[in-house]
Amino acid sequence: MRLPVPSLSQRNFAADHIAEVIATSSTEYTAECLPPQHLHFPTVPPLGSWVKAAVPEEYSIIGVVCFASTTPIDTVHRAIALGLSLEELRLQQPQIFAMFRSEIRVAMLGYQTNQHIYQHLPPQPPPIHQGVFLCSPEEIIDFTDTFHFWRTLLQISGVPVDELVSAILRQVYQVRKCDRNWLVQASKHLGILLKDDYDRLRAILAQVHP
């Protein structure tokens, strides 16, 4: 499905990126969340967050956060409970904030050129070290005007797909200012794809709170 969109130069890539691509594949990429300026752990976008990364001078890839993890940089030693508040950690163990890394997996759902939105996998993933940005509400609304991306979402492996779909429904519904007609249409398209698994569809929709 192709829809007209603003040119790449018109879309906002000026905001600071939240993560940086560190691994890619044909269907998804992994990005490391950037450390904050002050003593704090990296901010990890919630499950189902809409993000974008570019293949420079060609297109912008749209995807959703399908998994996140925070692990020690030192792979030999595990973190241990210290029984301290965040403020106590800052005062007594400030070095601890540099000892962890947070990563997100992003499932690619489509891409945008200067003229169109395509709801299928891009020709290639974003390059290593490319910045990852949160999508604006306008970009989310434009991309979710049609529902071909549901099929790609339901085929993702190794993540809690049903919870991911529910999270996306909730987020887009809120971004669209509780547009009930959109929610009904989105649910109908999911119903077509899950026509042989009514219990699964019901469980997904039960997690959406209009």
Q: 175, 167 in Cβ contact below 8 A?
A: no
Distance separating alpha carbons of residues 118 and 111, to the nearest angstrom: 5
In sequence order, what E strands does 25-75 have?
28-33, 50-55, 59-72
- The pLDDT score that the predictor gives to residue 120 is 95
Of 203, 129, 153, 188, nearest to 50 by C-alpha is 153
| Mean pLDDT value across the chain | 88
Percent helix, strand and coil across the chain, each rounded to 5?
A: 30, 25, 45
Query: Which run of H or of E encompasses 79?
Result: none
Q: Where are the alpha helices (DSSP H) in 37-85?
A: none
Which structural domain, as residue segments, surrounds residue 98?
A: 2-206
Please list the pLDDT of the chain residue by residue as tens digits (210 residues). Answer: 434 443 333 334 445 889 999 999 999 999 999 887 777 777 899 999 999 999 998 999 999 999 999 888 877 778 778 887 878 888 888 777 777 889 999 999 999 998 899 999 999 999 999 999 999 999 999 999 999 999 999 999 999 999 999 999 999 999 999 999 999 999 999 999 999 899 999 999 999 976
How many structural domains is the chain composed of?
1
pTM of the model: 0.85
Of 135, 119, 206, 122, nearest to 172 by C-alpha is 135
- The pLDDT score that the predictor gives to residue 38 is 74
In sequence order, what E strands does the chain have?
2-4, 19-24, 28-33, 50-55, 59-72, 100-112, 116-118, 131-134
- The pLDDT score that the predictor gives to residue 3 is 41
Q: 124, 54 in Cβ contact below 8 A?
A: no
